Amino acid sequence: MTSPEEDRTAELSATVRELERQLAAAHAIAAGLSSITDVRSLVQQALDMSLEIANAEAGSILLYDPDADKLRFEYVVGAKADELMGTEIEADKGIAGLVFQAGEIHISEDVAAEQAHLREIGERIGYTTENMVAVPLKSSAGKPFGVIEVLNKREGHFDENDVNLIGIMAAQIGMAIENARLQEEARLAEVVKFIGNISHDVKNMITPVRTGAETLQMIADEDYAELDEILAHLEQSPQTADAIRQAMGELRKTYPELIDMILEGTEVVQQRMAEISAAVKGIVAEPHFEPTDIVAVGERVLDLLRSHAESKQVAVGLQVEGEITEATVDAKQIYNAIYNLIYNAIDACGPGDSVSLRLATVPADAPNQSAQIVIECADTGSGIPDEVREKLFTEDVVSTKPMGTGLGTRIVANVVKVHHGTIEVESEVGVGTTIRLRIPVQPPENP
């Protein structure tokens, strides 16, 4: 039998060990997160650390989306992580919503008995939560912006020490996420300023190009009108008049088209710069769906890029299979997607290669589905390695061009996503690449 002094000593020793564990946890999180500025990477590593220290089976971090007024599962660890990732819940529903609204820690030893528990989520993914600690993530001003949930302790229930540890971790995570966001906002402000300067410079550089093209067209129109008048008076020398008309005929036929290409190209550049500037500021235009002639859009793109292809000795062509149904799409976005596909395909080709744009309409598979427009870009270029192809239309896209960013493929992916379409990629190194977009003729009523 131990004495009261021995019991007191043992209790103090246990308290010291627990304090040491808490300090070690705080140190581990601070050391691990201090060097991370990317918010998503930070969230992922933070939750991994939390579960390891708390000896828990699963967990999640939900961040608040003020625009949608919802909490979103940004990162999940556990057997059903892939199925739960990205799921959104109302900001005042479930245990997470309860904690977010109250801004206080919630401990549950029997989650199934909790009235606030959203059972349908667990039923949908086939996962049972037995016990849980949910802690609000707060800004330096004390305002909650998310919730960390630690689920199913491997041995027993979460005790006071576990709660204290998770609370320490949540405070560190909240501070680190806020710091990362502040750094990202500061960087974004610099980018916005830089893009604004570039946009202004581009406008200044394009203006003389447009003015020069318009002036050239005016002078050429006047000169040709004067030439026609002179030739009309060469009645005694019809052969001379015909020779002059023939010599000037090719230029007369092509210069209006060339000037239109210059004017359209400069207008497209200005539009894209305005869109980029707005997007960097967080202003993304809503898609404007309207009946669109996809063939006409494809012809415009090829006309604009034909000279680029000719400079690389690459043949470009358009194949229209059957009658193409008029599609209700955002014409500007579809133009951008086709432009990026063709431009990238031309750059992947060498002298003697070819790029083909194929357009077709595919009937609906079921009565409640829409027919689809198939936009296919096929080239006989260098092809894409498997490791690059797998990431081609994802956030992890890797550019194979010197100084490339992969922005073109992101633009295509975003256009397809907005139109609720799909992307297919077929490629073989040394043989060529085919990228196929399938866009619904009619957008879904409830996307």
Domain range list for the chain: 4-183, 188-280, 290-440
Identify whether the C-beta of residue 260 lies closer than 8 Å to the C-beta of residue 307. no
Q: How far apart are CA 229 and CA 235, in angstroms?
A: 12
Helices 294-311 and 331-347: angle between axes, nearest 10 degrees = 30
Find the distance separating the first CA and the last CA of the chain, reported in whole Å. 71
431, 441 Cβ separation under 8 angstroms: no
Task: Select from 3.30.565.10, 2.102.10.10, 3.40.50.620, 3.40.50.261 the CATH code of 290-440.
Answer: 3.30.565.10
136-171 burial code (b ≥16 CB/10 A, e <16): bbbeeeeebbbbbbbbbbeeeebeebbbbbbbbbbe
**What is the CB-side half-sphere exposure of residue 224 using CA atoms within 13 A?**
16
Q: Tokens representing 409?
A: 């493929």
Q: Would you state the structure tokens that stand for residue 10, as one six-digit string?
A: 């043992």
Instruction: Please write the tens of the pLDDT for every residue from 192-222.
Output: 677 666 666 676 667 777 777 778 788 888 8
- Number of residues that make up the chain: 447
Q: Where are the beta strands (DSSP E) in 277-391?
A: 290-292, 315-321, 327-329, 354-362, 372-379
Residue 373 and residue 324 in contact, taking contact as beta carbons nearer than 8 Å: yes
Alpha helices in 74-159 (DSSP H): 81-84, 94-102, 119-125
4-183 matches 290-440 in fold = no
Q: Tokens for 71?
A: 């909490």
∠156-158-159 over CA atoms, to 5°?
105
pTM of the model: 0.48
What integer pLDDT is reported at residue 33 of this predicted model? 53
Considering only the top CATH level, what class is 4-183? alpha beta
How much helix, strand and coil, in percent to the nearest 5, is found in the chain?
55, 20, 30
Specify the pairing of strand 327-329 against strand 290-292: antiparallel
Smallest Cα–Cα separation from 134: which of 158, 154, 155?
A: 158
Residue ranges in the chain whose pLDDT is less than 50 = 283, 397-406, 447
Q: Which residues pair with 107 in a beta bridge?
A: 133
pLDDT at 403: 36
Phi/psi at 62 (5° precision)? -110, 135
Question: What is the spatial distance between Cα 167 and Cα 160, in angstroms, rounded to a whole number?
Answer: 10
